[in-house]
Amino acid sequence: MIKSLTEKFIRKDVIFSFLDYKLFSNFCELSHKGAENNMADSLTEVLSGGDLSLTTLKALLDNSFDSILVTDSTKAGKILYANKGFNALTGYSTKEVIGKTPRILQGAATDKKVLDRLRKALTDGKPFEGRAINYKKNGTPFIMHWRVVPVKVGRNTKVWLAIQREGSAVE
């Protein structure tokens, strides 16, 4: 079941391949254990429906409480997509950040060791999770907790997906 979902979505949309693996695989695996089977089958049916699956994906991304960025897979890492959660968290509009890099959030107090770990993970094509001080558009510092994952087709990273939220000093 999981393999067939992945094969369908990889051909249609690179980002949907990520969602298939990361968001729905655990849910679908649970379906093999019993009562959730009908729900998992219904979800699979909805998500395999071309325009409906892309509409569902867009609704998920746009309405997430978390900030979500998609960047290209080049060394520059230019922003391709920023959701409403990113706008609310940082004060930057989508229009302002498309084509720029997430470095616009960094400043004097951003931990260079965390950025070095991030760079190594990106170079190695591996997921990353970290926490650092970043800056909102108005200059206000905040603690950013984020997770970055490669979205791959085969062995090639096509885009990077960053899921971000404001953290606290004590977590």
Neighbouring-strand partners of residue 15? none
Q: What is the pLDDT of residues 137-155, one digit of tens each?
A: 999 999 999 999 999 888 8
* Residue from 120, 125, 116, 82 nearest 102 by CA: 82
Q: Give residue limits of the domains in the chain.
A: 2-62, 67-167
Confidence of residue 122 (pLDDT cuts 50, 70, 90): very high
Strands 156-167 and 141-153: antiparallel
Question: pTM to 2 decimals?
Answer: 0.70
Q: Is the separation of the CB atoms in 2 and 25 below 8 Å?
A: yes
For residue 161, what pLDDT is reported? Answer: 94
Q: What is the pLDDT of residues 25-50, one digit of tens each?
A: 443 343 344 444 555 565 566 556 66
Structure tokens that stand for 104 in this block: 């616009």
For residue 25, what pLDDT is reported? Answer: 41
Max avg pLDDT among 54-68, 88-102, 149-163: 88-102
Confidence of residue 75 (pLDDT cuts 50, 70, 90): confident
For residue 53, what pLDDT is reported? Answer: 72
Fold for the domain defined by 67-167:
Beta-Lactamase (3.30.450)
154: left (phi over 0), alpha (psi -120 to 50) or beta: left
Structure tokens that stand for 135 in this block: 């800056």
41: left (phi over 0), alpha (psi -120 to 50) or beta: alpha
- Residue 121 is given by DSSP the state H
Taking the C-alpha atoms of residue 50 and residue 102, their distance in angstroms, rounded to an integer, is 31
